[in-house]
A and B are shown apart, each in its own frame.
Chain A
Amino acid sequence: MKQQLRRTMLYVPGNNPGMIKDAGIYGADCVMFDLEDSVSLNEKDAARFLVYEALTSLDLGDKEHLVRINSLESGLGLADLEAIVHTGKAVIRLPKTETPQDVLECEAQIARIEEAAGLPMGSTKMMAAVESAAGVLNAREIALASPRLIGIAIGAEDYVTDLKTTRSEDGVELLFARSAILLAARVAGIDAIDTVYSDVNNEEGLRKEVQLIRQLGFDGKSIINPRQIGVIHEIYTPTKKDIDHALAVLDAIQEAERKGSGVISLNGKMVDRPIVLRAQRVISLAKESGVLKEGVYAQD
């Protein structure tokens, strides 16, 4: 099965036809239409119609689309769900998730709409965004709350405000939250998506932040500007050196299996299960990101 890359999730304001029309051309792994914070209160209905029509009419290719809905408690989220679930074409991104109950309430509404619309039960997937102290402390329960969840994301702006602090360049204030989200995602077997980097003119700062979250283990990042895609994909794409090593590890495994040898070594170092798993992940990422085609490195 093809693995869905989620290195970049491009936010697109849900009431902007020009941006919606062009959203697919920049090469982000996922496109996320926003009905929440980027849409003013008196345009929520118009944005809902626009995103619905775009999802059902535009050629979206095989790119994953998400829609960030308004929270159910805002009184707007239910109509958002009605519109978007009916398209059958988007993952629902739930904002400001604080408890597993938030996920379950949303899931119950999705299930009701799927049944009424004759859609396959369970076909609509969800992603939960955690944006508060309570959400971070409940991250594990949230991530495990529904089999519809494909990922859990951290939204930093609200979170740092909740902590009574601000975002810093090195992100030390986010370390606990990022680690909590990541561990929750891994326990649940779903993706971990980092928050936006809002200073679009600071490429160096973005680069440092992406290197940090990649090292932590995140699968990708929400972004607000297509200019950020290139840097993130570059950092997430395995290098030729990574790929050569991974291929050598997998060759060594095959060789050892052929010989019936229990102990595997490569260049004098023991190769054990975690090293094999990492090598398999590198090869998978290299294939999905297009730098490894039919076993050959395709980018020089």
Chain B
Amino acid sequence: MELKKAGISGTLESSDVMITLEPGNGGIEIELTSSVEKQFGDAIRKEITSTLTSLGVTNARVTAVDKGALDCVIRARVKAAACRAAEVEYAWGGGSQ
């Protein structure tokens, strides 16, 4: 999946995370703001990276503002932002189209 423009998903409400994805050219760079960064920063970065990798995104600038999101919320927001940025419909059960 190739990112064509900026894609945003999520909100700044409690239990959510706002993900902004922009096309990049130096791998996956993540700028994370989280009130639980000390305890969970590495885990959040890992979740973002593995979700992008599963979508075939290898270059992206990620801005994540976390408000205590569970892993499943992080995955959902990254996927939505990536599909918006790549301008593709997600193919359920088969990656991206």
Which residues of A are at the interface with B, using a C-beta cutoff of 8 A? 16-18, 21, 45-46, 49-50, 52-54, 56-58, 79, 82-83, 86, 113, 116-117
Contact = CB atoms under 8 A, between A and B. Distances in A.
Contacts of A58: 70, 72
Interface stretch (B27-35, B37-45, B57-65, B79-87): B79-87
A79 B89 contact: yes
A54 B72 contact: yes
Interface of B: 9-10, 13-16, 69-73, 75-77, 79-80, 83-84, 89-90, 92-93
A117 B89 CA distance: 18
Given A46-B80, A53-B75, A53-B76, A17 B70 contact: yes
A53 B13 CA distance: 18
Contacts, number: 61
Tell me whether chain B's interface is mostly helix, strand or loop, or mixed: mixed
B9 A117 contact: no
15 contacts: A17-B13, A17-B69, A17-B70, A21-B70, A45-B80, A46-B10, A49-B77, A49-B79, A50-B72, A50-B76, A52-B76, A53-B79, A57-B75, A58-B70, A86-B93
For chain A, what secondary structure do more than half of its interface residues adopt (helix, strand, loop), or is it mixed? helix
A18 B15 contact: yes
A149 to B, nearest CB: 23
Contacts of A57: 70-72, 75
Contacts of B90: 45, 49
